[in-house]
Amino acid sequence: MNYKKQLPAKPSLKGFTLIEVMVVIVLIGLMASVVQFNFNGNEPEKLLEKESQRFAAIFNMAAEYSMLNNVELGLVVDSEKNTYQFLGFDGEKWVPASGNKLLEPYALPEEMEAILALDDLPLDEPPLINSLRENEESDLTFSGSELDEEKKLLPQVYILSGGDLTPFTLRFKFIDTYDAYIATSYLVSGLYTTPLTIEGPISDE
């Protein structure tokens, strides 16, 4: 009687999904960007360039995350606190993005400021923006752990899961009272989609 030698079954190998691979690529690209602008330079223009590059890299990452995970994100620039942060829409309200420190509130150096300007939206806004605006008109509010009063957080710039975003420009410049003040700025722009563009140094005179 012939007996066939049975070979041990090969273990099943589970590969990475396309989304997992793309997320890793995005993170590697962001890390590379961070390394590039972590240079040693104290020249005022270099400091402005560093902050504009940081913002653009993180915003581009947030847009990729929004598309890959089918979630709506928003940007809030607080001129009083001199910070910017990202929000996420949970289906009912906008909440601070958590789980990634890069998306949490970031304070600019005290000698700098970021000035947000919003361009006119196209006549036909994406239906999703209209839907999000309807939710904003409700009386939903929530408070932060360090706030005495309830504050409703609303995005100034929308980052939609379909790849669209609100046109905007964010100008990085020094405050007038800065000892080493120079009339120079860097301009980060988004025109309906990513990647963002960076212009500078631009003379403000």
pLDDT band with cut points at 50, 70 and 90 for residue 187: very high
pTM of the entire predicted model: 0.71
Is the per-residue pLDDT at 147 higher than 70?
A: no
Spatial separation of the C-alpha atoms in residues 86 and 101, rounded to whole Å:
10
pLDDT band with cut points at 50, 70 and 90 for residue 168: very high
Give the highest mean pLDDT range of 68-72, 168-172, 191-195: 168-172
pLDDT, position 133? 58
Other Cβ atoms less than 10 A from the Cβ of 75: the count is 24
pLDDT band with cut points at 50, 70 and 90 for residue 172: very high
Of the candidates 55, 164, 59, 193, which has an alpha carbon nearest to the alpha carbon of residue 115? 55
Amino acid found at 79: S
pLDDT, position 148? 36
pLDDT band with cut points at 50, 70 and 90 for residue 143: very low
Q: What is the pLDDT of residues 78-125, one digit of tens each?
A: 999 999 999 999 888 899 987 788 899 999 999 999 999 997 554 455
Residue that wins the pLDDT comparison between 13 and 2: 2
Q: Would you give the DSSP letter of residue 103?
A: G
pLDDT, position 140? 34
Q: What is the pLDDT of residues 30-49, one digit of tens each?
A: 555 554 444 444 588 899 99
Average pLDDT over every residue of 121-147: 48
Q: Average model confidence (pLDDT) for the chain?
A: 76
Spatial separation of the C-alpha atoms in residues 105 and 201, rounded to whole Å:
26
18-203 is a CATH 1.10.150.120 domain: no
- For helices 18-36 and 44-69, the axis angle rounded to 10 degrees is 170
pLDDT, position 89? 92
Is the per-residue pLDDT at 188 higher than 90?
A: yes
Q: What is the pLDDT of residues 67-79, one digit of tens each?
A: 999 999 999 999 9
pLDDT, position 49? 95
pLDDT, position 100? 81
